[in-house]
Amino acid sequence: MATVGSDLYSSFEIGSISKALTGMLYRDATESGLISPSTVLRDLLPLDGHGEVGSVTLSSLAIHRSGLPGLPPGMHPLRRNMRFLTRGDNPYGDSLTELLEQTRDVRLGTPRTRYSNLGFQLLGHAVANAAGGTYGRLLRDVMGAGFSTPANADDLGPMDLRGSSRFGRPVPAWVGEALAPAGGIRASITTMRDFLRAVLDGTTRGLTALDPVAEFTPRVSIGAGWITLRYKDRDITWHNGSTGGFSSWIGVDRDAGTGVVVLSAAHRSVDRQGFRLLTEFTTPGTAPPPPAITGG
């Protein structure tokens, strides 16, 4: 494990790697019988009178085939994105109550692959409701106490790093109760290392989330949130993350038993580094280093 510019316990925004964790919470809940893949959102969330969104199944959310848009129109995403670009505002600060109101009268599109933050937000909160608590509590109960889900900037502490834009400017934290299952989780490299080890040794819960169950794009498959593709003649299961001030990548070669995590407190993609490191660690005859790297 290596660090550059931070220590082993500083907390990073892991962005959409949150979806991979949410997929595991979903699979763990289905395996325990708490929910089923055919459970619909209205069975778990207060969506009476919200129109079509209540009929969406959890299984379709987990593979980005629910027909939901990437974000709800009621959130005014273009307006928020403009405020982020011009003023640096956090575009995701909503409560769960506000998110559910934004889904009112959302129209479902064709149930084809469409990457949806909204879908994973609803999936995570639905599973948490089924478990009788909040998403953050469920995450820590199942995946470990090292993960945090700050609802607002006041929840951040001295170990929570502040990210920077690709130009080096400080960026406000992307926090929000609603955001957590899709992109609002924070973790240190130590927490992510321990998580990765549990994935590789098969001791973590919800591990079947990594198993491909549907086509995501041509020659790319998806499990519950986790993506699998062929890279350098190897099957790599992975996810990345990007927020206003952070970038992240996690990937495993399950056949070889190797894995890599990259966390960065800068808005610059680390995908290339992640794939390269995992390929190097998996090369026959090369002793694999400890399974975690962080920079930034």
Residue-level pLDDT, tens digit, the chain, 296 residues: 666 667 899 999 999 999 999 999 999 999 999 999 999 999 999 999 899 999 999 999 999 999 999 999 999 989 999 998 888 889 999 999 999 999 998 999 998 999 999 999 999 999 999 999 999 999 999 999 999 999 999 999 999 999 999 888 999 999 999 999 999 999 999 999 999 999 999 999 999 999 999 999 999 999 999 999 999 899 999 999 999 999 999 999 999 999 999 999 999 999 999 999 999 988 765 544 444 444 44
Q: Which sequence spans correspond to the domains of the chain?
A: 11-294
Q: What's the token pair of residue 35?
A: 């929910």
Per-residue pLDDT of 105-151, as tens digits, reads 899 999 899 999 999 999 999 999 999 999 999 999 999 999 999 99
Which residue in this structure is represented by tokens 């495993």? 252
Distance of CA 192 to the CA centre of its chain: 13
Do 134 and 25 contact (CB within 8 A), yes or no? no
Q: Which CATH number fits domain 11-294: 3.50.50.60, 3.40.710.10, 3.40.50.300, 3.20.190.10?
A: 3.40.710.10
In angstroms, the CA 253 to CA 257 distance is: 6
pTM: 0.94
CA distances from 116 to 38, 120, 133, 135, 213 (A): 19, 7, 24, 18, 18
In angstroms, the CA 7 to CA 123 distance is: 33
